[in-house]
Each structure stands twice: as C-alpha cells, then as structure tokens.
Amino acid sequence: MCGIVGYIGSRKAEPILIDGLTKLEYRGYDSAGLTILEKENFKTIKNKGRVKELSTLVKQENLEGNIGIAHTRWATHGKPSSTNSHPHNDNSNIFSVVHNGIIENYHELQKFLGDNGYHFLSETDTEVIPNLIHYYFSEEKTENQHAFLKAVNQACHKLKGSFAIGVLCTLFPDCMIVVRKDSPLVIGKGDGENFISSDIPAYLGSTRDFYLLKDNEFAILTKTDVQFFDNTLNPISKTTTKIDWDATSAEKNGYEDFMLKEIYEQPTAIRETIRNHLTTDQPCQFKTLNFSKEFLSTIQKIYIVACGTAMYAGLTAKNLLENICEINTEVDVASEFRYRNPLIHKNTLCIFITQSGETADTIAALKLAKSKGATTLAISNVEGSSITREADFVIYTHAGPEIAVASTKAYTSQITLLATLVIYFAEILNKDEKLLIDLKKSILELPTKAEQLLSNLSEIENFAKETYQNKDVFFLGRGLDYNTAAEGSLKLKEISYIHSEAFYSGELKHGPIALIEKDTLVISILTVPDLIEKSISNIQEVITRGAKTLIITDKNLEHSNFTKIIQIPQTHPLLSPILSILPLQVFAYYISKNKGLDVDKPRNLAKSVTVE
C-alpha cells in the first residue's frame, strides 16, 4: 500500500520524482523519501509526513543528479518516522532500495545478516533487502553490472512474501534494477529516459508506453534501454502496452478535491464502461468472453469475491444474477474467502472485482479458485494489472484513474459493468426478452440521469452543513437498497470518521433500535417498489424515538415528519443503486469538508491494498 517511483534520464531527477510521488500519494502518505545519485554518492532525504513536506526539504539541497528512486509510505512495519521511511540503504551506503509489500521472513534474515556483521537502524522489514544485496554482491569475484543483477536476484530468492523493489548502486551510476512479486510495478518508456512506478498515473504526462512486469521478472533500466530477465536471469523480451487514459484525468482540473471531481465524472465513466458492449437493438457483446449456452447452463453456483466498496457492487450483482439468470450466487469478502474452505468445483464460476487489479486478498482468492478447478473472471479498471494476468477471463470498467482513496466512479462503473454482464449471460440463456430490453434501455439512459441528478444536489450540500457534527449516523435499506446503505455508510466513515453503520430496515427491532436517541441521524434509501411501505413503517419507528431522517428515494413521498427528502430520477428498480448512491457520496464529501478534513487522503487508509 505504498508508492514507488524512479527515474533515469538526462533531466534532473528530483522534480520528476517529487511529481510522481505527489500523483501516487493516494497509495500512502504517512512518510516519504528519495535517493538521488549525486556525483557517485547517494543523497537520501526522508521525512515523516506528506510529500509536500519532503519537497520543502529537498528544495534546500539543490540536487542535480539524473537518476533516483523515491517512495511514499503507508506504515506496516515500524511507526511513521524519518528513520522508518524509504529508501533504505545498506550499511556501506552502496545500495539504496525502495520496496512495496511485506517481507514475511525478515526476522530470520535480520538474524542471518546480524551474524554476518550487519546492523539495522529502522524497525522495518525493508532494511534487510539492501544489506542482503550487499552480502551477495560482496561474494562476487567481479564488480560489474551482471554481478549487481545477480546479487539482487540472489537476495530476492531469500525473500518470502510480496515485494516490488527498485535498487540503485553507487558503483553503477548509469542503471537501476527492479523486480516484482505479488506487488505492482510498471516501467514507463520515454525518449532517452525511463521511469518506474507502482501505478500508471504517476507518469502519464511523460509517456503512454508502459512495460508490465510479471511476477519474478527483473529489469535493468538505463537512459535508453530496458533489459528483462526471468527468475533465473535468462534474458526475455517484452513489448510495451499503450495506455489510453487522458493525462489530465489524473489532475484536479479546477475541482477542489479529486473525490468531488470523480463524483462528477461518473456519467462519463458509466458511458465509457458500456460503450463497446451495449446497444438497444443488438445482443450484448464482450469480445474477451466466449461463453456458450452449454457452458453457462452447467454453472451451478457463482461466487462474487471482492473487498470493501467492490464487495458492495458484488451484492447488487448477486440480486441481478439470481433474479434474471436464476443462478445461485454468493458474495464473499476476499479476506475471508480462502479461510472457510469454499465449496468450489469445475461447475463454479468465480467473479473477482478489484478497481486496482492489485488487491492482495482478492488475487489470493482467485488463485485458490483456480486451484479447485473453477472458471475465473476478473473485473478491473487497470489493464495489465496483476489480477488480469491470473484470471481465465477479464473485462474492464473504463472509469479512468481514480485518485481519491474513497471510491466513487469505480463503484458505479463496476455495478454498470456487472449489470451489462448479467444481460450478456441472460441473452445467451434465452431469459425474459422483454425484461432484457427494458434493462438495456435503462442502462443506456443512466449517464443522462446521473448528470441530471448531480446537477441538482445543493439540498444535500446544505443538509451536510446542518448535520456534520453528528457523532453517530445509521443507514437503512431493504433488498437492493441495503447495498446502497452499506456503501453509503462506508463512504461516510472513510472520509469523515463519524461512527456509521448500515442495517437492514427490518432488523431494527431486533437490536439496533436501542441505539436510536433524540437527534440521531438515520438515512434511509427507498427505491424497491414492493418494500416501500414496509420501509416507511421502519422509519416511523426511529422518528418516534426522536431521530432526524434523510430519505433518498425515486418516489413521490409526502411525509411531513421526514427531515429531508432527496428525490432521484427513476430507473429500472434493479439498477437503482447506481443512482441512489450519488447523493450519499456527495453527502459524505460535504460532511468531511465541513469538518475541515482531507477528503482525498483519509487517515489510516490507502487506495490500493496490496498487503493482506
């Protein structure tokens, strides 16, 4: 959950590294640091805090070097501090390393290195890496680039866990070495310069051509070349992938925060997600899928596996799959899936959802499903990400880069893509034609309706000003509306730090209603036609006990005792979560802004969870 960047070229490395770190700060922001090779010696500067604080320190040094590595951290081993920040150097200051991931056997390696005369300054697992490289390099008879690569390779063979690593060496000032295993790392190819990064947005302004490393692949970067090697150091060839994201999509473009910008990008993200799949008068198309009626008819169960927001998108897909395709569907949290011995066999389809494509728990769950013979389908927003290389089949949302830690446009794009996938399945299975026509029409209308809704949410902004000091907020929903309630609650707690929970409306009387007292804020979503009246009865129960109520609905409700009603455009009931979440995203945003918090970078959280 950290961000790595690196540069080698003819330009000054310092501003390029700082800019790259700034663009990756959503991956971690409790400390940051960089190493630049200055006249054959390392200049390593590290600091607790944000990248802007590191930038202030760095500017005082007037660094001229044109090769360097840098890191923005989300602490796992060792508290946030300048000592624990990356990069970490070996005892002789010959090697400098940035690392993303977790070294599970670092205690064992510390003892081995300690017995061989090495000492450690930090509390991190990472510090063993440069010292282990130094140990193996010292055993080599020659000091050349191959010996450098061999030492990195030998060190990596001793590491257990996940890692993406960038290494500099003072003896070889014209190259850097990188390797990845179960942690993201890409190489950007420029003109007379090359870049490394944990994520593509860091260098979209400099290049669109990226090499995508597979697990246990090594690379040597110079200004003009990149050489690739497998785990036994045999040379391999790789081609670049052109990334078509707009470089400005990783900028704020006049918005105060990335989250607000990404909320308002949702109509475009939905359009792009369905653009190549859906029309009103043709069967749904997925060029990367070749599912047949015979295959889908053999599927006895579908598992949808994901974490956090993506898991709530999966809950909505479960409803669609069971209602339309009549296939038994389970939704599992990825971090629990592997440890409960799920009943998987060859007639199981497992769908894995992850915005980044690098979520460690989700990738591990996919590997388990494959080992048990299931067919695996990954849904990601990032081409070439780790999960897309592991799955049997892949389909993509086209939300563009999502920088804010709290997911918005990725979530609605995921539900939209899943709904389109369900239509694809249903058409193959010859399900209710009229229903499918209605759903297609409704999906194609979603971008316009989302635009209409987002242009008219001043009431929710004002309501946030009135309620931002609440200490507890409860969300209620029945059926599909519960999924929206759960995601809305997650958004609020992520960025406002307000205690928030979601409950099924019908479960209130089974315990949670004990928490309701005067002026407690209760938010209820009312879009499921058959459940509206029952849900209103539940809301009356909390009003009776003094609660304030915010109602999100697509119905014309006239209940004077509701504190605030936000009416959203009507769509097909099975698609309502795509619209009903929008005012809740805006509500969470303005609650956080009124509290004076950093919306894009909430405490203790990072965007891409690459450790279990």
**What residues are labeled active site?**
2, 607
Is the separation of the CB atoms in 544 and 508 below 8 Å? Answer: no
How many CA atoms lie within 13 Å of 543's alpha carbon, on the beta-carbon side?
17
Peptide bond into 447 cis (omega under 30): no
Is the separation of the CB atoms in 465 and 590 below 8 Å? Answer: yes
Sheet strands (E) in 424-537? 472-477, 499-504, 521-526
CA dist., res. 31 & res. 9, Å (int): 26
Checking DSSP bridges between strand 472-477 and strand 521-526, what pairing results, if any?
Answer: parallel
Beta bridge partners of 473: 500, 521
- Residue 282, C-beta contacts closer than 8 angstroms, at least 6 positions apart: none
Is the separation of the CB atoms in 363 and 183 below 8 Å? Answer: no
Order across the sheet with 95-103: list the strands. Answer: 88-89, 95-103, 161-169, 176-181, 217-221, 226-229, 235-236
CA dist., res. 578 & res. 259, Å (int): 17
CA dist., res. 550 & res. 554, Å (int): 13
Query: Structure tokens of 580?
Result: 């009903």
Is the separation of the CB atoms in 535 and 524 below 8 Å? Answer: yes
Is the separation of the CB atoms in 581 and 412 below 8 Å? Answer: yes
- Residue 132, C-beta contacts closer than 8 angstroms, at least 6 positions apart: 109, 113, 155, 158, 159
| Nearest one of 592, 588, 203 to 408, comparing CA atoms | 588
CA dihedral 58, 63, 69, 71 (to 10 degrees): 0
CA dist., res. 463 & res. 583, Å (int): 11
Query: Helix or strand or coil: residue 195?
Result: strand
